[in-house]
A and B are shown apart, each in its own frame.
Chain A
């Protein structure tokens, strides 16, 4: 038998050649940061259900990760593909860390960058880019997830002030945020507001006992007649198009991010399959294992090709929301399937935090649901194909 050097699944596809030097350098920097600063602690954070988010935000800010694809205000101003690659490296560590960055950059900072006043941008964006201030994004409510149009939170005028009332649920970074971007129904449609932590009537409650995204902070936001000045409103957003525009940004990061989680699972499993013996042979030498490895490699490679393709479209300004749905539906679904399949190859070892696949699989259950459930993305694609909306 010829002596063949094992190849990395993505080397088989040659996906590196689709990237520029700068994109590879950015990716390699985030990978090194994740190896040095994140990976050694992941199992501990996950088991404890705690994340030193403030400290990490500073370090991520120094690298330039936070709001990296935005321009000005201390943001790095990279292209979309670079942002995607950074998300993939963070999610290769843990979806919780990618979530921290997605919410900060694509939801909170993007909302302020796209819809904020000059004063709001100058007040918040440089601090958030540096990681000195953390943001969260309050759209989902306890009874309204896929259908944000039904939201019950209200914003009512009192003189020139606004009075916000309502509850927001499943809010990443919610209880550690310095500023919450909160969406509420006003007389003229849904409006966005910047609610600083500590505003009277604004409280948060961290959600504990999670079985997924344990290395991530998730909270409920309660707005009990919170009085805000007129200038707290985001002037550039009216109607649901505002928050939905932010979600398109964050979903784009997930299209890449999910490939990182899948890659980490597959790398771990390939190493294990080459060295773990059963019946006196490496289990990677058995045909059933090889079929699993080949199928997973195909799906990973296809997911990365799709992500880079969508990234190029985003950079060219031609990416449509239904195309982001294609990417999010496929890549998260396949990443979850890969994580679970990898766990079967790791067998009993795969149920511990010693190996990442089950941790990734548990995380991806959340990723499958948030930023548009896989069902909603299927319906978006269905509508694009038939012209018939199935969810209205």
Chain B
């Protein structure tokens, strides 16, 4: 089975992250950049499928030159090859545009299954898998906590707030995964040393037959019009129990919609 895993480079969610003050795009220069955490689970799932039934795993990344570092780290976990779509015109693209670039890139590849993280820790839009599946004309099996491949059928347990739903599709599909699906491996030293020798194909918009004026911040369907840092944490409310502390706590939880 030929599997393509979508990998996005994002600012480290454990470090200070900022938006640029002029266009509110992510300031990648100020952050240390890492593989989107959820994508590591998608890579792990792809490697397990390959180990169980053979095939090939290819990483697909859309991102700036600096994303090569994340591609190398992804390859060190064990995938066979990578495709890097890099073009200055793509900067600032929204999900609709990015899904078009991804679909065009997948058009240059042979694949049976696309795996990806259910969300990226920077934008947290969560719609790329659906948009991509729509563009490719294949089913979207999203939010998986479990994936079973049986011949031509792909079955997932879709994680929901209440429990899970069993969703099945046959043939080609886009599957997005949550971090409940597996435990990603550490790259082995052999994998790290082999990663630099694995083939990485670089594609531009022209290679994909896409016009530059269909992508990028200026042509995006959505725009961020303002942004403000989260306000500093307020001092908590102290409840002194004078016989009705329990009632006050329940009221607080209800107002904050915890219950």
Contact yes or no, A77 B186, CB < 8 A: no
Q: Please give the distance in Å from B51's CB to the nearest CB on chain A.
A: 14
Contact yes or no, A82 B188, CB < 8 A: no
Q: Please give the distance in Å from A77's CB to the nearest CB on chain B.
A: 7
Residues on A with C-beta less than 8 A from B187 are: 25, 29
- Tell me whether B196 is interfacial, beta carbon within 8 Å: yes
8 Å CB interface, B63-117 against A: 69, 72-73, 76
Contact yes or no, B193 A77, CB < 8 A: yes
- Tell me whether A381 is interfacial, beta carbon within 8 Å: no
Residues on A with C-beta less than 8 A from B189 are: 26, 29, 63-65, 68, 76, 78, 82
We find that the number of chain A residues with CB closer than 8 angstroms to chain B is 16
- Tell me whether A280 is interfacial, beta carbon within 8 Å: no
> In the complex, which residue of chain A has the Cβ closest to the Cβ of B185?
A62
Contact yes or no, B188 A21, CB < 8 A: no
Residues on A with C-beta less than 8 A from B188 are: 62-64, 76
User: Helix, strand, loop or mixed for chain A's interface?
Assistant: helix
Contact yes or no, B72 A21, CB < 8 A: yes
Q: Please give the distance in Å from A132's CB to the nearest CB on chain B.
A: 16
A25 CA / B73 CA spacing, docked (Å): 8
Q: Please give the distance in Å from B232's CB to the nearest CB on chain A.
A: 16
- Tell me whether A32 is interfacial, beta carbon within 8 Å: yes
Residues on B with C-beta less than 8 A from A65 are: 189
User: Helix, strand, loop or mixed for chain B's interface?
Assistant: helix
Q: Please give the distance in Å from B47's CB to the nearest CB on chain A.
A: 14
Q: Please give the distance in Å from A74's CB to the nearest CB on chain B.
A: 9
Interface centre among A25, A26, A76, A78 (most CB of B within 10 A): A25
Contact yes or no, B72 A33, CB < 8 A: no
A220 CA / B189 CA spacing, docked (Å): 33
- Tell me whether A275 is interfacial, beta carbon within 8 Å: no
Q: Please give the distance in Å from B70's CB to the nearest CB on chain A.
A: 11
Q: Please give the distance in Å from A71's CB to the nearest CB on chain B.
A: 12
> In the complex, which residue of chain B has the Cβ closest to the Cβ of A61?
B188
> In the complex, which residue of chain B has the Cβ closest to the Cβ of A82?
B189
Residues on B with C-beta less than 8 A from A290 are: none
Residues on B with C-beta less than 8 A from A383 are: none
Residues on B with C-beta less than 8 A from A29 are: 186-187, 189, 192
Residues on B with C-beta less than 8 A from A33 are: 186
8 Å CB interface, B163-211 against A: 185-190, 192-193, 195-196
Residues on B with C-beta less than 8 A from A62 are: 185-186, 188
Quick one: which of B185, B186, B193 contacts A22, CB cutoff 8 A? B193
Contact yes or no, A76 B193, CB < 8 A: yes
Chain A 42-80, CB within 8 Å of chain B: the 1/0 string? Answer: 000000000000000000001111001000000011100
Residues on A with C-beta less than 8 A from B193 are: 22, 76-78
> In the complex, which residue of chain A has the Cβ closest to the Cβ of B73?
A25
A77 CA / B193 CA spacing, docked (Å): 9
Q: Please give the distance in Å from B229's CB to the nearest CB on chain A.
A: 16
Chain A 67-111, CB within 8 Å of chain B: the 1/0 string? Answer: 010000000111000100000000000000000000000000000
Contact yes or no, A63 B186, CB < 8 A: yes
Interface centre among A33, A63, A65, A68 (most CB of B within 10 A): A63
Q: Please give the distance in Å from B166's CB to the nearest CB on chain A.
A: 32
A76 CA / B69 CA spacing, docked (Å): 22
Contact yes or no, B192 A32, CB < 8 A: no
Residues on B with C-beta less than 8 A from A26 are: 189, 192
Q: Please give the distance in Å from A184's CB to the nearest CB on chain B.
A: 34
Chain B 241-258, CB within 8 Å of chain A: the 1/0 string? Answer: 000000000000000000
Chain A 9-25, CB within 8 Å of chain B: the 1/0 string? Answer: 00000000000011001
8 Å CB interface, A133-180 against B: none
> In the complex, which residue of chain B has the Cβ closest to the Cβ of A69?
B189
A64 CA / B189 CA spacing, docked (Å): 5
Residues on B with C-beta less than 8 A from A63 are: 186, 188-189
8 Å CB interface, B192-236 against A: 192-193, 195-196
A82 CA / B189 CA spacing, docked (Å): 9
Where the two chains meet, the residues of A that have a C-beta atom closer than 8 Å to any C-beta of B are 21-22, 25-26, 29, 32-33, 62-65, 68, 76-78, 82
Provide 19 A-B residue pairs closer than 8 Å at the C-beta atoms, listed in order of the A residue: A22-B193, A22-B196, A25-B76, A25-B187, A25-B192, A26-B192, A29-B186, A29-B187, A29-B189, A29-B192, A32-B186, A63-B189, A64-B190, A68-B189, A76-B190, A77-B190, A77-B193, A78-B189, A78-B193
Seed contacts A25-B192, A29-B187, A64-B188; 16 additional CB < 8 Å A-B pairs: A21-B69, A21-B196, A22-B192, A25-B73, A25-B76, A25-B187, A26-B192, A29-B192, A33-B186, A62-B185, A62-B186, A63-B188, A68-B189, A76-B188, A76-B190, A78-B189
